[in-house]
């Protein structure tokens, strides 16, 4: 299976965070299992040689969730009061870009984090 794109990782990452995993490494490992990535796919390095392509994409997915106001920088978790299971229509595959774009950021409750 090819390495998932950044936007394909946003909702699965949000669900993992909602379940209580806070470490980026733990979340990335869970995502790799969920997407059934091979060891070779998980260890493919960026051209810079600084980190793996998969971890880089997971990191960018986290950035997008932070920009949407769903994650905080200090800890991994959902914004208080949000529920990842409520973000997708009943059983249908979600469009992550639409979901992130539609979430209301107008609440004044504190955010939780990755």
Helices 24-34/6-18 angle, 10° precision: 110
Q: Please classify residue 35 by burial: count the beta carbons closer than 10 Å to its beta carbon, then call 0-12 exposed, 13-18 middle and 19+ buried.
A: middle
Nearest to 102 by CA among 80, 78, 58, 70: 70
- The domain locations on the chain are 6-102
* 58, 9 contact by CB (below 8 A): yes
* pLDDT surpasses 80 at 85: no
Q: What is the pLDDT of residue 11?
A: 92
Q: Maximum Cα–Cα distance for the chain, whole Å?
A: 44
Q: Which tens digit of pLDDT belongs to each residue from 90-113?
A: 334 455 555 555 544 444 444 445
Q: Which tens digit of pLDDT belongs to each residue from 43-64?
A: 999 999 999 999 999 999 999 9
Confidence of residue 37 (pLDDT cuts 50, 70, 90): very high
* pLDDT surpasses 60 at 75: no
């Amino acid at each position: 299976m090819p390495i998932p794109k950044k936007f394909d990782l946003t909702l699965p990452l949000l669900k993992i965070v909602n379940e209580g995993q806070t470490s980026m490494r733990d979340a990335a490992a869970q995502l790799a299992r969920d997407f059934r990535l091979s060891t070779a796919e998980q260890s493919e390095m960026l051209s810079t040689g600084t980190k793996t392509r998969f971890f880089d994409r997971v990191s960018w997915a986290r950035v997008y969730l932070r920009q949407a106001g769903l994650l905080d920088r200090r800890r991994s978790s959902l914004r208080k009061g949000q529920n990842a299971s409520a973000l997708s229509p009943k059983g249908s595959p979600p469009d992550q870009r639409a979901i992130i774009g539609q979430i209301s950021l107008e609440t004044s409750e504190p955010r939780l984090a990755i």
